[in-house]
Chain A
Amino acid sequence: MIDGIFQQFNEWIDSRHEYAKAWKESNKGKVAGYFCTYVPEEILCAADILPVRVLGSHEPPIVTEPYIFAMYCHFCRDCLAQGLKGKFDYLDGIIEGQSCIHLRQAFNGWRLHIPIDYAYYIYVPHGIQTRRAIPYFTKELAKFKESIEKWTGKSITNEDLDRGIQILNRNRELMKKVGEFRKTNPPKITGLEAMQMALSSQIVDKSEHNKLLEQLLRELPSRQLDRKSDIRLMIIGSEDDDRVFMKNVEDLGATFVVDEHCTGTRYYWDNVTPQEDRLAAIATRYVNRVPCPSKDWPELTRVQHAVNLAKEYNVKGALIIQNKFCDPHGIEIPPLKDALGQVGVQTYPLEFDVTVPWGQFRTRVEAFLETLTGLEGLF
């Protein structure tokens, strides 16, 4: 039964476009694509819009060369490539929650070159550690809400916002509860399965996703994973949806028991705490959540969070996935290595691109795992 659940998550990811088209047909609703986890999906759900995260295809983004300089990350180019190739032709709108410079090029490229009904850029503040951010962002969200209302022709009431908050909160809570089962030794789900769970939540109607998560939670306590080895790994990075990489590493005899990256736990770690002013409540969540490094300054709070996760999940080693050309994440590699090293977690950085050369990576990962098991002591 559990295998069937993860199979469903996987199918949702692989057939995401068919899913979205079918949802549109049966719900007669709008579908809005977004790039970053700073887009407040609560407001979109409140407006009965299906938010879907635009992800890449892991094929070289050849068609974007005229629009984005190739020194910007593969993810932003791959996302735009999907749009240019017509894969997302069912989208009614495209929205970006301000984060990095790379992805705003994907947003603007979409806005300028792909026919779309609605395009909106939310000026999510970067100054998340300043006391001025929440009041400012609350006003930004008010503008965004007004824009959505104008687009859909429907007001968004407080009750609608409560509903949106409740759906998103529930989805996050459930995924975090599933995450608890990774603390056991051995863990009850693999890193690949966790990725399938997290990715699919960013693609489908969360009400459906919640039902499957509830079923998963009922069955997990009795699950025994047949895993050969107990090397507990963490994966840390920016956007990472490379399921093939996860499987390849886990086939070598290690298990990813936790992650800190923006398609994983960072997406669902924090909830909205309800308050009278719903927009302020949502603003507070997005300002105070585990941050993208592009916003995490002057203190390195995300590094500390990664260390906390490593301790909580009893991690032995961490693979740091650096998407080539990503400045904010790349900048944090030395402090991350340092901080994790201080709590006894060894790290190994790997530079990711649109495709991953498994041949070369296998050597590196195997060598890293050998150092974790102490094999180098034999020599």
Chain B
Amino acid sequence: MASAVEIKEYPSEPLKCWDQAKNLRKNYYEDYLHAHEKGGLRWAGGAWAFSSIPAGLGEDVYCVTGEPYGATIAFFKDFASKCHEATEAAGFPRTLCAYMRNYWGSILLDKFVLTDGTVVDGYPAPDFIWQDHICCSHSKWYQLVRWLEKKKGKDVPMYSVDVSVGYPSDLAAEEQYKVDYIAGQLSDGIEWLEKVTGRKYDDRLLCDAVWNEMNATSLWAEVCALNQAVPAPLDEKTMYSLYVMGTLMKHRPECVAFYQTLRDEVKDRIKRGIAAVSTERFRVITDTQPPWGFLKIFREMEKYGAVSVGSLYTFGLIGMWQYLPDGTWVPKPVPPKKPQTREEALDAIVRWTMHKPEWAHFYQPELKTQMMESIVKQWKVNAVLLHYNRGCEGLSVHIAENRLGLMQKGIPVFPFEGNMGDERDFDLQGTMARLTVFFESTGLRKLKE
């Protein structure tokens, strides 16, 4: 007989706030594109950049961070392909970070892609670059943006913050010098921002932005924590469209408002037993960015009743978490008091950011393995799908050690190679064939279609 089986289904319905999410993101890209028309400023930098700092320059300061933009390009494979060609023709090796190559390609082609795939002429060059250096490529990425813009006759000033102080989980008193190192650079950066923009810096706006960022990232963690429910109210593919707000605008009040709305809706879904995937019977988590051009892999998995309920990447790239004394991994609450001065704001945001879960594995793979193990336990996960992502050195670093660590704990792991941003490096058919074998080996069969 055929290998399909019948299964009971949970009720399911789309998210009510879905359109709100789409519009938020669309408007953000368009605000960046049209910033100059309204006399505003635009800056370029990474999703990890301390975006609350440039917010002190005014309410009309916009950015589209590099990683989400690189992912947007990757999603539209035809445009991505042109970006790769342009970058390689310019002499860059194809093994470099895929987001970065996509981004440079956009500059070289002098085109900008919007969230619906519309490609407009003219890459909107930033007024300044504000970045931080987490992986080997992060500041270099924008150093080359600057170099490429200079070849077009535009000199874009650049400032980047070094955060490579390790992962001081407790930030004990003797490590205050590490906080001071970063906060000092931010403080120097504020002076630099005033100089290059000619604007007076507003510490009140800084404090608001820092407070928004802390709230947004704490709220996102709350949303992710709710996915421990069975059935999961959200699936990871959907979550990508929701966490992206945190990568673009975590310092903005509308991001905080959206995540509050989302959290409340997810709570309601749990109350009513609404599932993201009606046929949920096998829960997985993934790791690293997905192959953005092939998100249908999640829909393929659903044919087996397998749903990805998240990942450390989706939970911890933006979300802030902590361990309780009993070992439970929970959303990190915001500090009791909002910062009131520049010094307080800088100290607070440095301490907050250095505790980002996705920072841990840059230094100690064991820390990430421990967090993934917690997710497996608390989110009731059956297996882990590890994306050995050729497109990102930073998030794939130590991934082989994580695999070993998880397997030593008896957790089934399926590793697969791919690339988040370069469609040439991901074989959907081959990966699904291997994933089928993996599912089979756990006893899972394809559902009746």
Contacts and interface: CB of A to CB of B under 8 A. Distances in A.
Given A69-B400, A127-B133, A322-B93, A298 B364 contact: no
A331 B104 CA distance: 11
B363 interface: yes
A104 B188 CA distance: 29
Given A104-B363, A127-B160, A330 B95 contact: yes
Contacts of A133: 162
Nearest to A68: B400
Contacts of A349: 91
B335 interface: no
B181 interface: yes
B164 interface: yes
Contacts of A337: 91
A108 interface: yes
A105 B164 contact: no
Interface stretch (B141-149, B209-217, B222-230, B325-333): B141-149
B181 A132 contact: yes
Contact of B394 (A66, A101, A293, A331): A101
A98 B397 CA distance: 14
Given A101-B136, A123-B166, A298-B146, A69 B161 contact: no
Interface string B389-408: 01001101111110010000
A113 B180 CA distance: 34
Interface in B96-146: 96-97, 100, 129, 133, 135-137, 139-144, 146
Interface in B149-172: 158-162, 164-166
B164 A331 contact: no
Contacts of A334: 90-92, 144, 147
Contact of B140 (A67, A297, A322): A297
B185 interface: yes
B388 interface: yes
A237 to B, nearest CB: 12
A228 to B, nearest CB: 32
B177 interface: yes
A109 B136 contact: no
Contacts of A102: 136, 393
Interface residues of A, number: 47
Nearest to A65: B400
Nearest to B90: A334
B162 A125 contact: yes
Interface in B378-396: 388, 390, 393-394, 396
A300 B143 contact: yes
A335 B92 contact: no
Given A108-B364, A108-B365, A298 B139 contact: yes
A121 B399 CA distance: 19
Contacts of A351: 93
Contacts of B58: none
Interface string A102-121: 10110011001000000001
B40 interface: no
Nearest to A335: B147
A100 interface: yes
B390 A71 contact: yes
B137 A328 contact: yes
B362 interface: yes
Contact of B397 (A101, A121, A125, A330): A101
Given A127-B160, A132-B185, A334-B90, A297 B401 contact: no
Interface in A167-209: none
A72 interface: yes
B127 to A, nearest CB: 15
B184 interface: yes
B186 to A, nearest CB: 10
A245 interface: no
Nearest to B151: A338
B386 to A, nearest CB: 10
Contacts of A272: none
Given A104-B363, A136-B177, A327-B96, A71 B400 contact: no
Nearest to A320: B91
Contact of A298 (B160, B390, B399): B160
B143, B160, B161, B364: which has the most chain A beta carbons within 10 Å? B143
Contact of B147 (A65, A109, A300, A330): A300
Contact of B161 (A127, A322, A327): A127
A297 B136 contact: no
Nearest to A293: B140
Nearest to B394: A101
Contact of B144 (A104, A325, A331): A331
A296 B177 CA distance: 23
Contacts of A72: 393, 397
Interface of B: 90-93, 95-97, 100, 129, 133, 135-137, 139-144, 146-147, 158-162, 164-166, 177-178, 180-181, 184-185, 188, 362-366, 388, 390, 393-394, 396-401, 404
The 3 closest A-B CB pairs, nearest first, are A127-B162, A297-B139, A136-B181
7 contacts: A69-B400, A105-B397, A112-B401, A130-B162, A133-B162, A298-B142, A327-B140
